[in-house]
């Protein structure tokens, strides 16, 4: 057994990241300023998007996208129940109603073939989630959205490196929202980004994220003139300290992706034949971001629950995650909308069996070997 607990989701923080943050602190400009602008430009170039706006979180990115799309009271937004709470919470924040569509049992992604059946006269948008780093069926989703005149807002919190049939995630939907939270493939500690193809949307997101002011602080102190309050906005801006942490992470994003792919493949090989499986690889021409390595435990064959497996791994000093317990099983959504456990059977099925293992470029080969040994012992390998 490991002597030291292996933390799930640990970020890969290197000396160059620390030096960049220290440089920002020494500059005395630590709010939204030149490093945020540089981070936005370099992220936009990496994705190939027309516009990129840095914000304080992916949650903020999604909420602002909904607001700019004009979604509010009485509207419905179609999304998946197998996601983090933020995806549906932001729909509630703007006064709309999340309409869940069940997932594919093998990929965990929203089942695009079920989306059309969920559309009503109140439907205004579709919010697909690129779960684990696997891109959704965007051709089908965009076709449905175009035919019904719906906005597509992509939750790409797991999908910085993802590609769908030769097109980078971040260049397909109307808005795409990325996360730079602590455990993401690029981290700014807390932070997010919105990409969009329309200049007017980008400009309004920027205004709304800065209290609704016509001019952000950095421009106010580097040029003449005053700001005007043009909307009742929000405090959703990213700081230069956060952006500084992300700049070098972005530079090595492909290097980090290759390391996670290597670990992913080692896990696949080591766990072959055990009472578990992981969602399949993506099709040719697409790219998996390898954000999460998620085991689906064959609880019937194993004779143990997912929670029993997780507890045994914890006793062996291996940290894990659960991605996710379907939102329709949580008290708020059950109580507010009257969901029943069997309303989304595939999402529930995955919820009861899913377990994510450590997957980070910060892991050493010994760390990976410890995870493999522990999992094989617990699962009877």
Active-site entry in 35, 168, 184, 304: 184
Cβ atoms of 189 and 245 within 8 Å: the answer is yes
Domain boundary among 206, 233, 251: 251
Task: Give pLDDT tens digits along the chain (381 positions).
Answer: 899 999 999 999 999 999 999 999 999 999 999 999 999 999 999 999 999 999 999 999 999 999 999 999 999 999 999 999 999 999 999 999 999 999 999 999 999 999 999 999 999 999 999 999 999 999 999 999 999 999 999 999 999 999 999 999 999 999 999 999 999 999 999 999 999 999 999 999 999 999 999 887 566 565 656 889 999 999 999 999 999 999 999 999 999 999 999 999 999 999 999 999 999 899 999 999 999 999 999 999 999 999 999 999 999 999 999 999 999 999 999 999 999 999 999 999 999 999 999 999 999 999 999 999 999 999 997
Strands (DSSP E) found in the chain: 51-55, 76-79, 97-100, 123-127, 151-155, 163-164, 167-168, 175-179, 192-196, 276-277, 293-297, 354-357
pLDDT score recorded for residue 224: 56
Q: Is 2 part of a structural domain of the chain? A: no
Encode 6-41: b = buried (16+ Cβ within 10 Å), e = exposed. Answer: bebbbbbbeeebeebbeebeeeebbebbebbbbbbe
Q: Is 7 part of a structural domain of the chain? A: no
Q: Which residues contact 12 (CB under 8 A, 6 or more apart)?
A: 249, 256, 360, 361, 362
Q: Which residue reads 């807002």 in tokens?
A: 153
Q: Is 1 part of a structural domain of the chain? A: no
Domain that holds residue 277: 253-378
Cβ atoms of 276 and 298 within 8 Å: the answer is yes
Distance separating alpha carbons of residues 34 and 23, to the nearest angstrom: 12
Q: Which helix (H) or strand (E) holds 205?
A: helix 199-209
pLDDT score recorded for residue 223: 63
Same domain, 234 and 258: no
Same domain, 222 and 182: yes
pLDDT score recorded for residue 246: 98
Give residue-wise pLDDT tens across range 44-64.
999 999 999 999 999 999 999
Q: Is the dihedral of CA 179, 180, 181, 182 positive or negative?
A: positive
Q: Is 136 part of a structural domain of the chain? A: yes
Quote the pTM value: 0.96
pLDDT score recorded for residue 220: 56
Domain boundary among 224, 251, 278: 251
Encode 166-196: b = buried (16+ Cβ within 10 Å), e = exposed. Answer: ebbbbbbbbbbbbbbbebbbbbbebbbbbbb
Distance separating alpha carbons of residues 255 and 297, to the nearest angstrom: 30
Cα 8–Cα 60–Cα 213 angle in degrees, nearest 5: 145
Distance separating alpha carbons of residues 33 and 331, to the nearest angstrom: 41
Same domain, 226 and 277: no
**Burial class of 117 by CB neighbour count within 10 A (0 to 12, 13 to 18, 19+):** exposed
304 classed as catalytic? no
Q: Is the dihedral of CA 307, 110, 64, 291 positive or negative?
A: positive
Distance separating alpha carbons of residues 148 and 227, to the nearest angstrom: 39
Q: Supply the CATH number for residue 162's domain.
A: 3.40.640.10
Distance separating alpha carbons of residues 37 and 57, to the nearest angstrom: 16
How far out from the chain centre does Cα 154 lie?
9
Q: Is 263 part of a structural domain of the chain? A: yes
Cβ atoms of 83 and 100 within 8 Å: the answer is no
Cβ atoms of 124 and 75 within 8 Å: the answer is yes
Residue 151: phi, psi to the nearest 5?
-85, 145
pLDDT score recorded for residue 215: 81
Same domain, 114 and 219: yes
pLDDT score recorded for residue 40: 98
Cβ atoms of 355 and 306 within 8 Å: the answer is yes
Same domain, 207 and 120: yes
Q: Which residue reads 């766990």 in tokens?
A: 271
Q: Is 293 part of a structural domain of the chain? A: yes
Number of domains in the chain: 2
Distance separating alpha carbons of residues 24 and 26, to the nearest angstrom: 5
């Amino acid at each position: 057994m490991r002597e030291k607990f292996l933390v799930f989701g640990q970020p890969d923080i290197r000396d160059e990241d620390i030096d960049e943050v220290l440089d920002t602190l020494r500059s005395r400009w630590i709010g939204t300023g030149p490093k945020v602008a540089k981070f936005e430009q370099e992220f936009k170039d990496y994705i190939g998007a027309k516009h990129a706006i840095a914000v304080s979180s992916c949650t903020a990115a999604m909420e602002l996208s909904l607001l700019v799309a004009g979604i509010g009271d009485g509207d419905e937004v179609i999304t998946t129940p197998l996601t983090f709470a933020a995806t549906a919470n932001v729909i509630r924040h703007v006064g709309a109603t999340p309409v869940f569509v069940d997932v594919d049992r093998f990929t965990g992604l929203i089942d695009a073939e079920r989306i059309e059946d969920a559309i009503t006269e109140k439907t205004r948008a579709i919010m697909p989630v690129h779960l684990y780093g696997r891109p959704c069926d965007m051709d089908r989703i965009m076709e449905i959205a175009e035919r019904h005149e719906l906005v597509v807002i992509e939750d790409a919190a797991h999908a910085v490196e993802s590609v769908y049939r030769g097109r980078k995630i971040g260049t397909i939907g109307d808005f795409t929202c990325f996360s730079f939270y602590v455990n993401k493939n690029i981290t700014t500690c807390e932070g997010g980004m919105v990409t969009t193809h329309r200049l007017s949307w980008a400009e309004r997101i920027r205004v709304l994220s800065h209290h609704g002011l016509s001019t952000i602080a950095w421009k106010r102190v580097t040029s003449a003139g005053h700001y005007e309050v043009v909307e009742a906005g929000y405090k959703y801006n990213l700081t230069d300290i956060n952006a500084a942490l992300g700049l070098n992470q972005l530079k090595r994003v492909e290097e980090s992706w290759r390391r996670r792919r290597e670990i992913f493949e080692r896990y696949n090989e080591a766990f072959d034949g055990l009472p578990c499986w992981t969602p399949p690889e993506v099709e040719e021409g697409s790219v998996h971001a390898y954000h999460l390595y998620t085991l689906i435990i064959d609880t019937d064959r194993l004779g143990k629950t997912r929670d029993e497996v997780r507890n045994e791994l914890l006793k062996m000093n291996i940290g894990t995650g659960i991605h996710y317990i379907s939102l329709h099983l949580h008290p708020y959504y059950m109580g507010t909308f009257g969901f029943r456990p069997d309303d989304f059977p595939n999402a529930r099925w995955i919820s009861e069996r899913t377990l994510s293992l450590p997957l980070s470029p910060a892991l050493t080969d010994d760390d990976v070997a410890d995870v493999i040994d522990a999992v094989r012992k617990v699962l009877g390998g």
